[in-house]
Structure formats: C-alpha cells, structure tokens
C-alpha cells in the first residue's frame, strides 16, 4: 500500500498537473467546436490539428484566433433608424413579391433572386438615383476625398481598417481638425489591429477641438487582443449625409504608390452620391455604436437629408460579419456566379475560395462560361499568397484565364458578371473575409458600370502575365511545399 501511495505521489507533480489540465482544456475546445459552434468541417479539422500537434501554443492560438462572436446584438441602430430601415425593406419586399421591381429595370428581371437575397438576409434595400465616380489610383481618390472633407458643412464620418498618420494620413487628419474647429462634427473609427500604430494619444488635437475617435475591438490587455481574428475591414466615409466613399483603399502612403516594397498600388474605390449614401451612413452608425456605449449615434435629420439626386445607377449596399447568421456577401458572390451566362471577371489579392465558392466557379467553367481571374504577382502576406497561387493554378488548369498583375500590387476586390452586374468592396475571396471579418460591398445593377469596370480589367491585362497550366506546372519544389502548407491552414488564414 505504501508503495502504491509513493508511486502515485511521484506521478502527481506540478508539471504533470499542468500537462493534464492543458490536454483537458484542449479536449473541451475540441468538443465545443464539434458539437456547439457552427463551423465548417474544414475549419474544425484545421483547429483540431492545431490543438493536437501544438497543445500549449494551440490553446493560445485558439483564444486569440479561434473564438466565435456570439453577441448578435453587437450592432444596433438607433430605434428611429431601425424603424425606418425595416419599413423601407418591407415595402421593397412587397414590391418584389408582386414583381413590381422588374418593370423598373430590365436587369432586375435576370437578377431578381440576387436582389431578393440581399434584401431578405441583409436588409440591403435597392436605391436607384445614385451617381458613382470610380477611382483606380490612390492619389486621385485621396485628392477628391480631401476636397470633400474641406467642403463639409455638418459632419464627417470616417472609418478605415488601416489609418496611418504618415504624410497622407496627416493631410486628412489635419483637414478634419480644421473642420472640427469650424463646428463640423468629426468622428473617426479605426480598427485597432489594422491601425496598430495608432493609439488615442495620436488624436489629442482632434479630441481637444471636440471631435470623437474610437478603435474597433481594442486591446483589453497590453499587446493582447482576444478579437485579433475578427476585424472591421470596412472602409466608409460619409460627409454631410450626401457624399459617401467605399472600396479597397486604406489610408497610408503605400496606397498612393510611395512604398518601395509595393510600388504602384492598384485598387478600386467608389465615390457615391444618392440614396445609397444613407445605407453607408446607417452602417457607420451601427459600427460606431457597437464600440461606444456612452456616445451612441442617434437619428438626426442632417444624417439623412432629403436631396433630389439625379443619378441613375441602381445598387445595394451589402455587409457581412461573424455576428451574422449567414455569410451574405459570399452567398451573393455565389448567386452572381450561378446566374452567369457568358462571362465572369474576378480580381482579388487573396484568392483562397472555400468549397462552396470553388464548386460554383468550377460549374461555371465547365459550363463554357468565360472566367477570367486576376491576382497579384507578389505577396503582402506570404502564406495567403501561396494559397492564392495554388488556387489560381488549379483554375487555370481547369480552363479559366488567370492573369498575374505585374505593374505593382493588386488590391481591389471586383466581381463582374455578363457585363450587367458587378460587386465592388472590401471582401476578398477567402474564409477570413467570408466568415471572420466585418466587410462591406456595393452590388451594382448597371450595364454602363459593369462594362466600364470590365474595360478597366482589360486595361489591367496589359500590365499582367497569363498564368498558363504549363507555367504553373513548372513551378519549383519550394513553391509546391509553400502551397501545401498554405492549403493545409487555408480555413484559418
């Protein structure tokens, strides 16, 4: 008996207790992912492998990268804003049921189901009186934005994933300080990880003048952010409720071609005038209210002015994120692909589609639809790039025309179908954008706009090289090894 007691005592050491506890916690996390959390099988297996092979580090990685957001009420609009939205959506849903919409625009006839999908699942109502200016060069875009900021009369709502106070950022920031001093209400919302070089001390001048600044999901502990995996990737600017900006450009000198690493920065951003600005305003207000409970943005007439706009571009503003029941933007992408009859054009810096997107694109190619895909020629995130290259090579072998952009870094996120409908926004073709980040896209129903962007795509081809199956199959062993690792961890990239 004494021998047994001595044996057990020798086994129960602090280290053994630590190891047993760690394994027990890993098992609990594994059970949670399998039976409680709504994850894809790919994601579950990827995390189980991480927890199994890296029991200590995997535990930390899961806490930082793997946890889901269960607060479905994180984004709440002001009661008046929400009531107006719901009334608007219900009216349009009734029109859709009665097929009244399809008489207003012949393109609605073909994309009736896409309109319904965004309206029903995302409250993304249709606006038709919009005017769009497209920017593909950062210098032109930020010159226009700076001018609009200087002309602001009532408010500036400014939201970016990356906001750097370098030469470009300081120009915009200083202009907003001056407008705040003039009495214009300035609010800045930045993502705490995307804009990790910032902290509240950087905004003392604006706050002293009466402006407001908040970070999205900020660190709760120094250098530790337990929401590292769920970032607000949206780019939204609303000025006086009349002018809106959204698209791919962040704020930093690399986005105007002043980075030696990236060189020329190829992106796409939209300046919008029309009732679609109200949807951008509503999205900003909800994002703002999710982070600041004391200074909640409530309805003001000046936020939603009644203006007689003369534009004629129909569009919906769709958004998605990990608090949603559905991956609305991914669903809309897939619906667009499924509706295609002739052509599909895709530009994305990160092209790591999940199984559902891949299957839709495969069917399109095998059905004889012309599919063209454009990716960058070098990475800003290595593993993501090699996953992108592997998927691009696969679709090149299947029959798609894949182009590798050589002029600089390609960052825009574009999907065009049949020269009739297109999507421009912040959403990449990967699991991070589909399921983990908070994103925003415009869905535009216009032959003129779709043809314009398709011609821009064709212009980009002049600065690209065709990735043929022959070129892809001649890649070296090291590239194949990188692709294999990237594909293994693709669900959590």
Which positions are annotated as active-site residues? 233, 235, 240, 411, 413, 418
Residue whose C-alpha is closest to residue 115's, from 337, 325, 314: 314
Compute CA distances 436 → 67, 414, 480, whole Å. 10, 19, 27
User: What three-state secondary structure class fits 349?
Assistant: coil
Distance between CA atoms of residues 184 and 210, nearest Å = 9
Distance between CA atoms of residues 432 and 354, nearest Å = 10
Residue whose C-alpha is closest to residue 144's, from 231, 270, 263: 270
* C-beta pairs of 166-170 under 8 Å, 24+ apart in sequence: 166/252, 166/253, 167/253, 167/258, 168/142, 168/251, 168/252, 168/253, 168/255, 168/256, 168/258, 169/251, 169/252
Distance between CA atoms of residues 340 and 363, nearest Å = 11
Q: Are 317 and 119 in contact (CB under 8 A)?
A: no
Q: Where are the alpha helices (DSSP H) in 399-446?
A: 431
The separation between CA 440 and the C-alpha centre of its own chain, rounded to angstroms, equals 6
Compute CA distances 65 → 102, 198, 216, 330, whole Å. 44, 22, 16, 21
DSSP 155-174: EEEEEES-B--SHHHHHHHH
User: What three-state secondary structure class fits 177?
Assistant: helix
DSSP 441-452: EEEEE-HHHHHH
Q: Where are the alpha helices (DSSP H) in 292-424?
A: 328-339, 355-366, 382-398
DSSP 139-157: HHHHHHHHHHHHT-SSEEE
Q: Which residue has the tokens 């692709």?
A: 483
């Amino acid at each position: 008996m004494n021998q047994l007691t001595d044996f057990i005592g020798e086994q129960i050491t602090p280290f053994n207790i630590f190891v047993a506890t760690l394994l027990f916690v890993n098992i609990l996390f594994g059970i949670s992912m399998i039976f409680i959390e709504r994850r894809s099988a790919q994601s579950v297996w990827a995390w189980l492998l991480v927890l199994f092979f890296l029991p200590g580090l995997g535990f930390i990685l899961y806490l930082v990268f793997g946890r889901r957001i269960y607060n479905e009420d994180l984004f709440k609009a002001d009661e008046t804003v929400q009531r107006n939205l719901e009334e608007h959506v219900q009216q349009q849903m009734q029109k859709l049921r009665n097929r009244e919409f399809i008489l207003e625009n012949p393109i609605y006839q073909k994309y009736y189901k896409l309109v319904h999908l965004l309206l029903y699942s995302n409250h993304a109502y249709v606006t038709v009186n919009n005017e769009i200016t497209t920017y593909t060069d950062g210098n032109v875009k930020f010159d226009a934005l700076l001018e609009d900021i200087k002309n602001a009369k009532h408010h500036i709502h400014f939201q970016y994933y990356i906001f750097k106070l370098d030469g470009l950022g300081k120009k915009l920031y200083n202009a907003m300080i001056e407008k705040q001093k003039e009495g214009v209400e300035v609010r800045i919302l930045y993502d705490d990880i995307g804009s990790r070089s910032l902290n509240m001390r950087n905004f003392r001048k604006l706050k002293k003048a009466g402006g407001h600044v908040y970070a999205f999901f900020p660190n709760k502990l120094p250098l530790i952010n337990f929401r590292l995996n769920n970032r607000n990737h949206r780019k939204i600017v609303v000025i006086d409720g009349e002018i809106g900006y959204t698209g791919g450009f962040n704020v930093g000198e690399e986005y105007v071609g002043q980075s030696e690493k990236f060189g020329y920065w190829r992106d796409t951003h939209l300046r919008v005038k029309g009732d679609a600005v109200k949807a951008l305003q509503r999205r900003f207000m909800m994002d703002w209210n999710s982070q600041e409970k004391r200074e909640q943005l409530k309805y003001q007439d000046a936020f939603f002015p009644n203006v007689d706009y003369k534009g004629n571009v129909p569009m919906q503003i769709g958004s998605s994120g990990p608090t949603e029941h559905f991956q609305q933007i991914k669903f809309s992408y897939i619906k667009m692909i499924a509706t295609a009859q002739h052509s599909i054009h895709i530009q994305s810096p990160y092209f790591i589609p999940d199984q559902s997107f891949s299957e839709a694109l495969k069917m399109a190619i095998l059905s004889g639809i012309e599919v063209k895909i454009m990716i960058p020629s070098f990475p800003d995130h290595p593993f993501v790039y090699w996953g992108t290259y592997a998927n691009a090579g696969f679709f090149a072998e299947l029959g798609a025309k894949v182009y590798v952009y050589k002029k600089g870094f390609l960052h825009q996120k574009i999907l065009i179908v049949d020269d009739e409908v297109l999507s421009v926004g912040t959403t990449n073709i990967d699991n991070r954008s589909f399921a983990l980040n908070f994103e925003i896209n415009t869905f535009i129903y216009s032959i003129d706009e779709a043809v314009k962007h398709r011609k821009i795509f064709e212009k980009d081809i002049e600065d690209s090289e065709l990735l043929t199956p022959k070129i892809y199959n001649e890649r070296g062993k090291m590239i194949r090894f990188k692709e294999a690792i990237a594909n293994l961890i693709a669900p959590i990239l």
